[in-house]
Chain A
C-alpha cells in the first residue's frame, strides 16, 4: 500500500459479488425493510394524488391502519362480524391455489404465465357441465362432474404449450401468454352462445360448493392441504426430484437418464389440472361466470409464487401478504377519496417494485470502494 490514492483510482466505486449464502434472519430483515420503504413511498404517492389527504394530513394514520382494517376489522353486519377476515382468508386461499399450481412448472424453469387462462378454462368447463346438467341430476353428482370437467379442461390448456415446448422448443412464455386471451374470448363466445340476450354474465342456480361450517372454510382447507401436498411432492417424490434436476440443468437431466420431454409434459399436465381445480372452486363459489371472472389473479399468482421462491409453505404467507396489500389498498382509496378501482393497483404495484428489487440485496453483496479498503487495512 505504498500509493493508496493510486490504488483507490484503479478500484471501481461499487463492486458487486454474489453472496454464497445469507442468514435467513438477515434476508427477512431486508424484505421487511423493503416492505416498509414501499409503504412509505405509497403514502407519499397517496399524498400527491388525494386532495382530501393534503387538506387533512392527519388522515395519513388512516392510510396505515387501512391494511389492518380491510382484512381484520369488524364488519357492520352484526350477524357476521368476522366477514372481512373470512373473505380475506378465502381469497388468499384461491390465490394460493393458483400459485401452487404454477409452482412445479416454475421449479422446472418452465415460465407458465398462462394460469389466468388455465383457471378460466377450468371454470368454463365446470360451468358448461352446470349449464347442461344443472338441476337434471343430483347436486353431488353435478359437483363431481363439474370438478372432473374443470380439471380436464385446465389440463388440456396447460399441456398444449408443453407439447410444443417438448417437441420443438417453442417459447413457452409467449405461448402461454397468448393462450390466456384465447381462453378469455372462448369464454365470452360460449357465454353469448348459451345466453344470447345476456349481459355477458351467466349465472347458475345449481352447483354451489357445499358449506363446511360456513361458506369459506372448504376453500381454505383445500388450499392448505394442496400446499402441504405440493411441498411433499416436490421435496420427497421422485417426480419432484426430476423437476428440480430439469430446472437446474436440462443437460444434467439428460445425462442421468431423465426424459426431459416427459417431465415437461407431465409437470404441465399437473400445473394445468391444479389451475382447473381452482377454476372449479371459483365456479362453485361464484355460481356465475364472465370472461373476467379470474380478474388477473392468474398473473398475481405468478408474483406470489416467485416471492415465495417457489416454496409451497412460504407461499401460504406470501398469498396472504399480497391479498392483505390488495385489500388494504382498496380500503385506502375508499377512505381517501381517490379513484376506487385503480388506486389499489398503483399501491400494490409500487410495493411489489420494492419487494422485487430487494431480492438483489439478498443475492448480491455490494462493496463500496472506501469501506473495502478500510477492511483490508484492518486485516493488516
Chain B
C-alpha cells in the first residue's frame, strides 16, 4: 500500500474509537440526556474489559472465548457506569452536566486505579489472544492489520443505530422522548424506560470504544491514559455528525486523520499542538454553521439537558 493509503486505513482504525464513543453519546442525547460522563464511561469500559482479559488471559480457555468475554465485560462495565448516570439524572432528576462531570472524574480515577495498580504489570492484558483482534488481516505489516472484528463491529453498530433511530418505531419513540417528553408521555410512550434503555445501551457502546482503543488499536500498557481526551473528542464528534451515527463513521475517520496528521506530514514538532487543536476548531465551526443555517433536522434534540417530571407545568 502507498504511504497515503496506509495512513488512511490507520485513520479508519483509529477512528473506530470515536465511532463507538459518539454512537453511544448520540443514543443518549436522542433520549434528551447530555452525558458529559462519556469519557469516564469509556474509561470504565476499557478498564473493565482489560481487567477481565488480564484475569482470564493466561487461563486454559480458548483465546476466542477470552476475547469475547473481554468484549462483553467492556460492554457491561460501560452500561453499569451509565446506569449510575441514568439513576441520578432520570430517576433522581439531577443536573445532567454536573452528574456527567462527576462521573468522568470517577471513571477516570477508577480506570487508573484498576489498570495502573502494581498488579497489572507488563505482559499486558493479553498476549496470546491478540491475534483474534486482527483477524482476517493478522500478520500483515501495513496498517491493514489494525482492521479486525472490533472495527467491523463499530461500523455495524453505527449503521444499525442509524437504522433503528430513523426507520423503526422504537427509534421514532426515542426521538419523541428526546424532543418533547411530555408529548411522548401523553402518547403513551414509556419515557423513563426509553431514557434508561438509551442511556445504558449507549454507555455500553461507548465502553466498547475504550476497550477497543486499549487492547485492540494500541494494545499496550500506556494506551489507557489517552482515553479521557478521546472521550471528549467523541462528544465533539456528535455535533460534527449532526446526531447521525452513520455520519459519525465519516466524522470519526476525519477526526482520526486530523488527530495524527502531524505524524504524516513532516512538520516541526513546534506546530504539533496546533494540529491537535484542529478537531476541536472544526467542531466549533460545524456547531456555528448548523446553528446559523438553523435547519430543523440538524439541531440538537430540543429537550437536551432538561430533566422530565410529569407533574411539571
Please give the residue numbers on chain A whose beta carbons come within 8 Å of chain B beta carbons, in ascending order.
16-18, 49, 111, 113, 164, 168-171, 173-175, 177-179, 181-182, 185-186, 188-189, 192-193, 196, 291, 296, 299-300, 302-303, 306, 338-339, 341-350, 352-353, 356-357, 359-360, 363-364
List, in ascending order, chain B residues with CB within 8 A of A357's CB.
87-88, 92, 94
B236 near A178 (CB under 8 angstroms)? yes
Q: Does residue B311 face the partner (Cβ distance < 8 Å to A)?
A: yes
How far is B289's CA from A168's CA once the two chains are assembled, in angstroms?
10
> Which range contains the number of B residues in contact with the other chain?
35 or more
List, in ascending order, chain A residues with CB within 8 A of B284's CB.
175, 178-179, 182
- Beyond A18-B312, A352-B106: 10 further Cβ-contacts under 8 Å? A18-B309, A179-B284, A189-B270, A300-B105, A302-B98, A343-B109, A346-B106, A346-B109, A348-B109, A357-B87
A342 near B109 (CB under 8 angstroms)? yes
A173 near B34 (CB under 8 angstroms)? yes
Name the prevailing secondary structure of the A interface residues: helix
B109 near A181 (CB under 8 angstroms)? no
Q: Does residue B274 face the partner (Cβ distance < 8 Å to A)?
A: yes
Which residue from B113, B272, B280 sits with its C-beta under 8 Å from A49?
B113
B300 near A171 (CB under 8 angstroms)? yes
B231 nearest CB across to chain A (Å):
12
A192 near B269 (CB under 8 angstroms)? yes
Please give the residue numbers on chain B whose beta carbons come within 8 Å of chain A beta carbons, in ascending order.
34, 36, 84, 87-88, 91-95, 97-99, 101-113, 116-117, 232, 235-236, 239, 269-274, 276-277, 280-281, 283-284, 287-288, 291-292, 294, 300, 305, 309, 311-312
A346 near B84 (CB under 8 angstroms)? no
B84 nearest CB across to chain A (Å):
7
A174 near B239 (CB under 8 angstroms)? yes
How far is B278's CA from A216's CA once the two chains are assembled, in angstroms?
39
A348 near B105 (CB under 8 angstroms)? yes
Which residue from B97, B113, B288, B300 sits with its C-beta under 8 Å from A342?
B113
- In the complex, how many residue pairs between chain A and chain B have their CB atoms under 8 Å apart? 158
B270 near A192 (CB under 8 angstroms)? yes
The 4 closest A-B pairs by CB, nearest first: A349-B106, A345-B109, A342-B112, A185-B277
Given the known A-B contacts A178-B284, A360-B94, are A189 and B273 also in contact in the complex, defined by CB atoms under 8 Å? Answer: yes
Q: What are 5 of the A-B contact pairs (CB < 8 Å)? A: A169-B294, A178-B283, A345-B110, A346-B109, A353-B99
B110 near A346 (CB under 8 angstroms)? yes
List, in ascending order, chain A residues with CB within 8 A of B116's CB.
339, 342
B291 near A344 (CB under 8 angstroms)? no
A343 near B113 (CB under 8 angstroms)? yes
Name the prevailing secondary structure of the B interface residues: helix
Given the known A-B contacts A182-B281, A185-B276, are A352 and B291 also in contact in the complex, defined by CB atoms under 8 Å? Answer: no
Given the known A-B contacts A171-B287, A343-B109, are A352 and B102 also in contact in the complex, defined by CB atoms under 8 Å? Answer: yes
List, in ascending order, chain B residues with CB within 8 A of A356's CB.
88, 92, 94-95, 98-99, 102
B232 nearest CB across to chain A (Å):
7
B92 near A360 (CB under 8 angstroms)? yes
Nearest A residue to B116, CB-CB: A339
A346 near B113 (CB under 8 angstroms)? yes
How far is B111's CA from A349's CA once the two chains are assembled, in angstroms?
13
B146 nearest CB across to chain A (Å):
26
How far is B110's CA from A178's CA once the two chains are assembled, in angstroms?
25
Given the known A-B contacts A113-B97, A173-B305, A181-B232, are A196 and B283 also in contact in the complex, defined by CB atoms under 8 Å? Answer: no
B279 nearest CB across to chain A (Å):
8
List, in ascending order, chain A residues with CB within 8 A of B91's CB.
360
A3 nearest CB across to chain B (Å):
27
Nearest B residue to A358, CB-CB: B92
Given the known A-B contacts A302-B98, A342-B116, are A177 and B274 also in contact in the complex, defined by CB atoms under 8 Å? Answer: no
Nearest B residue to A304, CB-CB: B98
List, in ascending order, chain A residues with CB within 8 A of B84's CB.
353
Given the known A-B contacts A170-B287, A179-B284, A182-B284, are A349 and B232 also in contact in the complex, defined by CB atoms under 8 Å? Answer: no
How far is B285's CA from A178's CA once the two chains are assembled, in angstroms?
11
B273 near A350 (CB under 8 angstroms)? no
B113 nearest CB across to chain A (Å):
5
B112 near A339 (CB under 8 angstroms)? yes
Nearest B residue to A193, CB-CB: B270
Most buried by B among A113, A169, A181, A359: A181
Which residue from A196, A302, A353 sits with its C-beta under 8 Å from B106?
A353
List, in ascending order, chain B residues with CB within 8 A of A350's CB.
106
List, in ascending order, chain B residues with CB within 8 A of A346's CB.
106, 109-110, 113
How far is B96's CA from A306's CA once the two chains are assembled, in angstroms?
11
How far is B98's CA from A352's CA once the two chains are assembled, in angstroms?
9
B102 near A182 (CB under 8 angstroms)? no
Nearest A residue to B300, CB-CB: A171
Nearest B residue to A111, CB-CB: B97
List, in ascending order, chain A residues with CB within 8 A of B272's CB.
192
Most buried by A among B91, B113, B309: B113
How far is B272's CA from A181's CA once the two chains are assembled, in angstroms?
14
List, in ascending order, chain A residues with CB within 8 A of B281's CB.
182
How far is B90's CA from A149's CA once the two chains are assembled, in angstroms?
43
How far is B39's CA from A296's CA once the two chains are assembled, in angstroms?
14
Given the known A-B contacts A170-B287, A177-B232, are A186 and B97 also in contact in the complex, defined by CB atoms under 8 Å? Answer: no
B277 near A182 (CB under 8 angstroms)? yes
List, in ascending order, chain A residues with CB within 8 A of B113's CB.
49, 338-339, 342-343, 346
List, in ascending order, chain B residues with CB within 8 A of A296's CB.
105
A315 nearest CB across to chain B (Å):
14
A189 near B271 (CB under 8 angstroms)? yes
List, in ascending order, chain A residues with CB within 8 A of B270's CB.
189, 192-193, 196
Most buried by A among B95, B103, B280: B280
List, in ascending order, chain A residues with CB within 8 A of B273's CB.
185-186, 188-189, 192, 291
B109 nearest CB across to chain A (Å):
3
Most buried by A among B88, B105, B291: B105
How far is B309's CA from A139's CA once the two chains are assembled, in angstroms?
57
List, in ascending order, chain A residues with CB within 8 A of B108's CB.
342, 345
Most buried by A among B107, B109, B283, B294: B109
